[in-house]
Amino acid sequence: MIDMFLYDDSEKANIRFVSFLGETRHDLTLIQTDRHYGKTIVLNTQSNKFGIIGRDDLEEEGYIAYVLGLNDQEAEEVMTFLREVIA
């Protein structure tokens, strides 16, 4: 039984599916809405991990590797891509 909803909202989203090759293959889903203060939800569909990522997060050492389940080399490839697409 549900006693109380904290929220139950619907919102339009811009969703982008991206697959690219660096040293390894990367499959990402990027979801942009107004909900997360301009940050983008980035899903790594290979590791089933995600993070809510903004420009500031791209500069935090080790953060992208940790939240997306990547090694350092893979994280650098993904960060190079994300720096181009995250405002």
Mean pLDDT of 40-51: 97
Mean pLDDT of 14-26: 96
Strand 40-44 relative to strand 14-21: parallel, antiparallel, unpaired? unpaired
Question: For the chain, which residues make up each domain, given as ranges?
Answer: 14-85
Mean pLDDT of 20-33: 96
One-letter amino acid for residue 39 of the chain: K
Using a pLDDT cut of 70, give the percent of the chain over it: 100
Looking at the predicted structure, is the pLDDT value of residue 1 above 90?
A: no
H/E element, 49? strand 49-53
Question: Could you give phi then psi for residue 63, rounded to 5 degrees?
Answer: -65, -50
pTM (two decimals): 0.89
